[in-house]
Structure 1
Amino acid sequence: MTATEQHAAERGVVAKLSTLDRFLPVWIGAAMLVGLAAGRWIPSLGSLLGAVEVGGVSLPIAVGLLVMMYPVLAKVRYDRLDTVTRDRRMMVASLVLNWLVGPALMFALAWMFLPDLPEYRTGLVIVGLARCIAMVIIWNDLARGDREATAVLVALNSVFQVVAFAGLGWLYLHALPGWLGLPQAELDVSAWEIARAVLVFLGIPLVAGYLTRRLGERTRGRDWYERRFLPRIGPAALYGLLFTIVVLFALQGEQIVAQPWDVARIALPLLAYFGLMWAGSFALGKALGMGYARTTTLAFTAAGNNFELAIAVAVATFGVASGQALAGVVGPLIEVPVLVALVYAALAARRFFPAPAAEPVEETRVPRS
């Protein structure tokens, strides 16, 4: 395919997007502003939204995340996951990026930008340890990444999150600063708390998506499932995303607006982190010879962070009014618009990859008994 044909194809894809998809940055910006305004001007809204929690996260946010993730996980072709697990390059690269490079980079940036603000610095380190298992699914889908690879990598990161989070917290907040002669901090979090968050925010939509596909294909066939059913439930993912953003910023709006200078200080290392992790991971995928879809998946799973977990851990350990909690709150304030911009950067970079061969939808109708 020539460059002209590639650009024409990309314009065709954009032209077919719904109004919701095409103007997503506008809707996300509006959702953030609505949430901030509501949290700032409606008395006791934050305490009302945070009154009921699931896995340490506000129930409305939990509902929004589950609604957001279910349609995307229902799109995954679970019978093809073995093609992902056989891709050792991607699996190893993802583990290295998420559990060696990511936490180390955030540690370095936190100390570089915030040497005089220990609470915010600790909060950023916690953000760096919380690898993404929720919103990365929708960013990857918007960027036309590999859904099957995303499901596998998110599940893999979830296992490592349960096993490694507390140990890495001790390493980066206590042991490593001590070795370097720097001030130390402690992190009190149990593996069960992490496992509970993973089971709620990944386990429920993953099981629901898997069962939906299995039952839908078994009763009506893959052609009906992918051409008729999935388009009907697809918009719910973006509605869930927008709802989550409104609630999240409503919960923390007053805190963000009241400390604009502190927010700006925290934002700088976060901007550097998201940009460096995404660009470095994307370049690595390209260098390893991966196609566009898996390179995109590698980049977004490495760059995204689990802000729900980071905020819950910071609040549980240091208190809701702590600097550590504020750093966790600023995470999505920066991550959401930056990763939306990176979705468009990824789509623009498709021209540097060979066009994938068109794949027909398979018919797998099973006779009804």
Structure 2
Amino acid sequence: MTRTADEAVVGKLSALDRFLPLWIALAMVAGLLAGRWVPGLGPALDAVAIDGISLPIALGLLVMMYPVLAKVRYDRLDAVTGDARLLVSSLVLNWIVGPALMFALAWVFLPDLPEYRTGLIIVGLARCIAMVVIWNDLACGDREAAAVLVALNSVFQVIAFAGLGWFYLSVLPGWLGLPQVGLAVSAWGIAQNVLIFLGIPLVAGFLTRRLGERTKGRRWYEERFLPRIGPLALYGLLFTIVVLFALQGGAITSQPLDVVRIALPLLVYFVVMWAGSFALGAGIGLGYERSATLAFTAAGNNFELAIAVAIATFGVTSGQALAGVVGPLIEVPVLVGLVSVSLAARRRFRPSRRAPRPATTSEEP
């Protein structure tokens, strides 16, 4: 009996790839236990920060994003920027549907908990520019499309975040006769976040490909170099998860019932955003790769920005900050599960006519 294409791909994956959900679960548990039981670990990690940006988390995100952005074929970006259906759909989903959905879910699930409700609304405003590249790559989405969409989200994040925060926390509640909240956020702080978490790995990935192809050729670059740096993406992801949960392990484990209350609307949000975006992409004929990219870029959120804004505005021990922390606690396992759902759904699409993808995330040459 001949193997299917999906079985052939799975057979080539390393143990790191095949058991990624297990490694992520272990990283989350390790971080939570370390933050809870290792004396002074959380404050020590939290102290290593510049302008509110955690250096350990920044390091993990940069290591995580660089290999994926080094795989992007930047000479193909014009094929993405010319796809109006993809770009318009992404903008609508990220900057209209996503924040509105989170606002509605926060009020439905947490009408009696204003701090957590505000924290969730802030999470909904922070569109993903980091971990989404990993989820998209694992789901065999369109790398070039992902690079364009996260760049587009970054621009809109700098321009629109503060205005949307004012609208959803002050203006819209006032119109609806609901309690209003102010949000103090610096446009430069948001731009700084974007420049670090997207700008640095994007420039590094672009220069690596340009120099590598010029000196050694595309075949060497994609068949020899990329498989060697590929595992760094998942190592960076696991490191980031450990550090993130170690930082907030005490807060999460000491308030389990509050975490459950916050988790429920987040779970609904991630599933609805992903499923609706994936269905939209399929419905307008984007094909599997770009439908998957549209879904993951719409469902993910920039937890680092959301937590930083909540802490700067309401304080490190606030309910708003805790809601931001619970975001990745739910997002990571849910989106890992949706990667599997996405790959299963790929069988319903016609095979892509695009060139074969070079080097899976951690495949050896």
Answer whether TM exceeds 0.5 for this pair.
yes
In 1, the alpha carbon distance for the partners of 2:317 and 2:58 equals 21
Alignment partner, residue 32 of structure 2: 36
Unaligned runs of 5+ in 2: 359-365
- Please point out which of 155, 173, 192 is paired with 2:188: 192
> By how many angstroms is 1:120 displaced?
0.1
- Please point out which of 233, 238, 253 is paired with 2:234: 238
- Tell whether the 8 Å contact from 1:68 to 1:236 is kept in structure 2 after alignment: yes
- Tell whether the 8 Å contact from 1:50 to 1:251 is kept in structure 2 after alignment: yes
Deviations 1:248-272 (A, max 9, x none): 0000000000000000000000000
Alignment partner, residue 86 of structure 1: 82
In 1, the alpha carbon distance for the partners of 2:275 and 2:352 equals 22
> By how many angstroms is 1:15 displaced?
1.0
Deviations 1:214-248 (A, max 9, x none): 00000000000000000000000000000000000
Alignment partner, residue 96 of structure 1: 92
Alignment partner, residue 57 of structure 1: 53
Instruction: Say whether 1:329 aligns with 2:325.
Output: yes
The aligned runs of 1:1-369 (5 Å cut-off) are 8-357=4-353, 359=355
Unaligned runs of 5+ in 1: 363-369
In 2, the alpha carbon distance for the partners of 1:83 and 1:130 equals 27
| Gap change, CA 1:318 and 1:361, over 3 Å in 2 | closer
Greater mean alpha carbon deviation, residues 8-17 or residues 157-166:
8-17
SS at match of 1:50: helix
In 2, the alpha carbon distance for the partners of 1:127 and 1:336 equals 14
Deviations 1:82-106 (A, max 9, x none): 0000000000000000000000000
> By how many angstroms is 1:356 displaced?
1.5
* AA partner of residue 120 (structure 2): L
RMSD: 1.3
In 1, the alpha carbon distance for the partners of 2:354 and 2:115 equals 51
In 1, the alpha carbon distance for the partners of 2:51 and 2:80 equals 30
> By how many angstroms is 1:358 displaced?
6.2
In 1, the alpha carbon distance for the partners of 2:356 and 2:268 equals 41
| Gap change, CA 1:293 and 1:361, over 3 Å in 2 | closer
* AA partner of residue 263 (structure 2): A
Greater mean alpha carbon deviation, residues 350-359 or residues 285-294:
350-359
Alignment partner, residue 367 of structure 1: none
In 2, the alpha carbon distance for the partners of 1:257 and 1:295 equals 36
Alignment partner, residue 361 of structure 2: none
In 1, the alpha carbon distance for the partners of 2:240 and 2:132 equals 14
- Tell whether the 8 Å contact from 1:55 to 1:197 is kept in structure 2 after alignment: no
Deviations 1:264-288 (A, max 9, x none): 0000000000000000000000000
In 1, the alpha carbon distance for the partners of 2:354 and 2:46 equals 47
Q: Normalising to structure 1: TM-score of the pair?
A: 0.95
> By how many angstroms is 1:54 displaced?
3.9
SS at match of 2:4: helix
In 2, the alpha carbon distance for the partners of 1:46 and 1:58 equals 12
In 1, the alpha carbon distance for the partners of 2:336 and 2:49 equals 28
Identity %: 77
In 1, the alpha carbon distance for the partners of 2:271 and 2:175 equals 29
Q: Normalising to structure 2: TM-score of the pair?
A: 0.96
SS at match of 2:39: coil
In 2, the alpha carbon distance for the partners of 1:350 and 1:52 equals 42
SS at match of 2:47: coil
In 2, the alpha carbon distance for the partners of 1:50 and 1:117 equals 26
In 2, the alpha carbon distance for the partners of 1:40 and 1:247 equals 12
SS at match of 2:141: coil
| Gap change, CA 1:54 and 1:237, over 3 Å in 2 | farther
> By how many angstroms is 1:56 displaced?
2.2
